């Protein structure tokens, strides 16, 4: 898992021109896990990128927002629900975040899949 995180991280830094990353690994509901398997969030960061949202720690509220609620989406897809989503420690909410459509997220996922392929086929730029 950590080798995959490392590989994806290099691609994310290159593609998004990031100077740093937040990597959050969640394994278990008490750790904020929203999907029933261990997974990692890899978030590109740059100096001052969250200043307009209250500072560096605003990222935790963003991960906890409706758009970041993959567990709810999974439960709806599988036909069960009613479970409360695990939460990160409370931080200021991001009022300006706009939900993206499934189509937008699919295009982004396809683009990133192509970029990770470039990363390991010698096509780096």
User: Which CA distances in Å does 34 have to 24, 72, 90, 118, 125?
Assistant: 12, 8, 16, 30, 35
Is 37 designated active site? Answer: no
Instruction: Read off the tokens for 95.
Output: 């009022």
Which residue in 37, 39, 41, 52 is the catalytic one? 39
> CA-CA distance, 78 to 64, in Å (whole number)?
21
Q: Which of 29, 24, 60 lies closest to 39, judged by CA?
A: 24
Catalytic residue annotation: 39
């Amino acid at each position: 898992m950590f080798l995959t995180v490392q590989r994806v991280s290099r691609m994310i830094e290159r593609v998004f021109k990031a100077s740093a990353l937040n990597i959050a690994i969640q394994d278990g509901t008490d750790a904020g896990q929203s999907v029933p398997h261990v997974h990692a969030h890899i978030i590109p960061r740059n100096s001052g990128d969250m200043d307009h949202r209250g500072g560096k720690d605003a990222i935790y509220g963003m991960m906890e927002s409706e758009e970041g609620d993959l567990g709810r989406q999974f439960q709806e897809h599988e036909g069960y629900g009613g479970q409360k989503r695990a939460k990160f420690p409370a931080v200021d909410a991001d009022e300006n975040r706009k939900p993206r459509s499934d189509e937008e997220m699919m295009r982004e996922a396809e683009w990133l899949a192509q970029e990770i392929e470039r990363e390991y086929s010698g096509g780096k730029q």
